[in-house]
Chain A
């Protein structure tokens, strides 16, 4: 099992601040990188799926980039709001199967 790492483990920001997290993963046999948001007592919700080196995706105030050659992805949140408080998970899929290998997540708390 190839490890997927995420940093930071947790962070607290003030409402209105912008923030970003990192997901690093093995670049060999890469197929796709997924970002999920997981709020307490809810289902993990898919944010982005990225497959190509240099991919950039955006949904409202949240965006993500992908570098498959060096094995990392960044997730950005612009103007954080309290409702952004959640754990953000990234997951890597490889060419061999459909399994998602998840990182440990970044727990974000946005303080009003």
Chain B
């Protein structure tokens, strides 16, 4: 089966500019995650969707970050305006609905964002 698709792979923008990332999860996966991975740290959850509803966005900086998952399939993550500290790899992942035995998440290759 096709994996999680993300685009673009790389993006360089100036601070205060806007940027958007796109994710197409594995077909049929109800849960979609956006993670931010800053160099030297583990991935940190930004937002979690189940179908088109938000399950957890407690760590999303809502003054500048927004995300949507229209129709419960593709998702976009937007940063407006970007700051230098937003430089990171943005990972999208998807998984089937919660199962008792620890369903794994499947990750895309990520988008590496550099803010200069």
- Answer whether residue A29 sits at the interface, using C-beta atoms and an 8 A cutoff: no
Is there an interface contact between B42 and A4, defined as CB atoms closer than 8 Å? yes
Is there an interface contact between B102 and A102, defined as CB atoms closer than 8 Å? no
Contact with B along A71-112 (1 / 0, CB 8 A): 000000000000000000101010001111111110000000
- Answer whether residue A13 sits at the interface, using C-beta atoms and an 8 A cutoff: no
Is there an interface contact between B109 and A43, defined as CB atoms closer than 8 Å? yes
Partner of B98, one of A43, A45, A98, A100: A98
Query: Which of B48, B59, B91, B105 lies at the interface centre, i.e. has the most chain A CB atoms within 10 A of its CB?
Result: B105
Band of interface residues on A: 20 to 34
Is there an interface contact between A97 and B56, defined as CB atoms closer than 8 Å? yes
- Answer whether residue B24 sits at the interface, using C-beta atoms and an 8 A cutoff: no
- Residues of A near B105 (CB, < 8 A) are 34, 46, 100
The answer for the CA separation of A89 and B38 in the assembled complex, in Å, is 14
The answer for the CA separation of A91 and B99 in the assembled complex, in Å, is 16
- Using known A-B contacts A43-B4, A104-B40, determine if residue A99 contacts B108 with beta carbons closer than 8 Å: no
The answer for the CA separation of A6 and B42 in the assembled complex, in Å, is 10
- Using known A-B contacts A43-B3, A50-B102, A104-B41, determine if residue A98 contacts B48 with beta carbons closer than 8 Å: yes
Contact with B along A28-54 (1 / 0, CB 8 A): 000110101000011111100111000
Residues of chain A having any CB pair with chain B under 8 Å: 1, 4, 6, 31-32, 34, 36, 41-46, 49-51, 89, 91, 93, 97-105
